[in-house]
Structure 1
């Protein structure tokens, strides 16, 4: 089965979306969409550093994503708004990454694969990394689900219950960095944020509990991956962008249907 490149692509996509589903819900609830995009943009610098030092791309991307998240956390509230800091760091890290890649004359690199993903080229080693990272994120989300929810709803309430909202934010930062690191091979730097946000935003339209939203996001994500792979095969289109297009169509259809249903219920 794993000798079939489409089977490997499907397993890779499923591994990413199953981890991105619960994490994406917190990204939506906390309005961290720009933070996710900024972390993903920083991944290009991680790729350049990895290739220059001949180390694992996963390790390089994870290190840079974590470093950027820590820098944003430490510098926020010191004269600059969070969106300003994220904008500066996102675009500057992407620019520095692209410039750094141009100096790697002795290394053959397919930059488009890192920007938009190359899920069809996923190998057995990539699958091991993707699923290891995804299972780690799922385990972290399961372990910290209630404290994360409490800190998301109200930091004051979390403090009253003996929690530490800053620590929960750190857990989210680590999980986000891991997802970015494992997803770069599947959908690429420029589409990772879409895979985090769109399934969660879609599930929000028909969910009544946080757990239902996380499950719904996983269903939407899995459907988007499978339909995106099939559509890419049939239409001969780029696979990563096709997956995101399918997720976007699902978002438009489901949110429109949910609004119509609510409007009819009011009448």
Structure 2
């Protein structure tokens, strides 16, 4: 019979998936993967700060993630290209965090747990933080959904409609920092971005509308968490990386299913003649534009 710690681990994975689903869609649409890495890697600095000042780890991680996200957002594109700035910030934050941890004397640090997560050690208090953060992120995205979507799809149209694209970007930045703070115990700082990108990428293969992509991304994230925990329990593998491996396998299956669907449409087009080709092309373009 499964122990209580496995049940808590499953609930923690579900909680992170609920927050990562909608936020991951925007990370994919806006191509913010490197931005997510920089924010997540800064979490290690937050861990060091929390341990040094004897503060709750979640508080330090959230503060440092917000600081890094705002710094990168303000500095990108001024002196260096955006990808260069993000690459420097991401790896510098990780390296400085690791070095800073080595200076903490008399403090035992589970470095592997912070880097790759320790979901099987989640407590009831951790669950409260995870679901509280997930509820905050989901509510924030739902509240600003139309504005965020407009600013993502067409910034010029958003500006003409009175939507401040910079403010919407700031909201995404804050939501990303909250997610990093609550997901630290589940998948660690090195794999947080994977939980954002992979489920959203898998959902994109089937979603016809942004709302469908949100729902499918959450479903893929939940399935990945449960499958990864089951695999970790069965084969005694690290839980955090196992969750990401499960998500990648689901992404591969989604791409394979998408390829089969496109192949069937191509066969239908060739057998239906020019009229059928026009209809299928029109359907695919409508589906593509809705994403």
TM score, norm. by length of structure 2: 0.90
- After TM superposition, give the deviation of residue 79 of structure 1 in Å: 2.3
1:145 aligned partner = 145
2:117 aligned partner = 117
2:236 aligned partner = 236
Q: Secondary structure at the match of 1:80?
A: coil
- What are the within-5 Å matches in structure 2 for residues 1-267 of structure 1? 4-267=4-267
Cα RMSD after superposing both structures: 0.8
Ranges in structure 2 where 5+ consecutive residues have no aligned partner: 268-291
Q: Is the 2:24–2:197 Cα contact (8 Å) retained in structure 1? A: yes
TM score, norm. by length of structure 1: 0.98
Q: Which string of whole-angstrom CA distances, capped at 9 and with x for unpartnered residues, describes residues 20-70 of structure 1?
A: 000000000000011111111111111111100100111111111111111
Aligned partners of 2:39 and 2:53: how far apart in 1? 21
Equivalenced residues, count: 265
- After TM superposition, give the deviation of residue 259 of structure 1 in Å: 1.5
Aligned partners of 2:249 and 2:236: how far apart in 1? 19
Aligned partners of 1:70 and 1:30: how far apart in 2? 17
Aligned partners of 1:157 and 1:165: how far apart in 2? 10
After TM superposition, what 4+ stretches of structure 1 lie above 6 angstroms from structure 2? none
2:275 aligned partner = none
Aligned partners of 1:37 and 1:256: how far apart in 2? 27
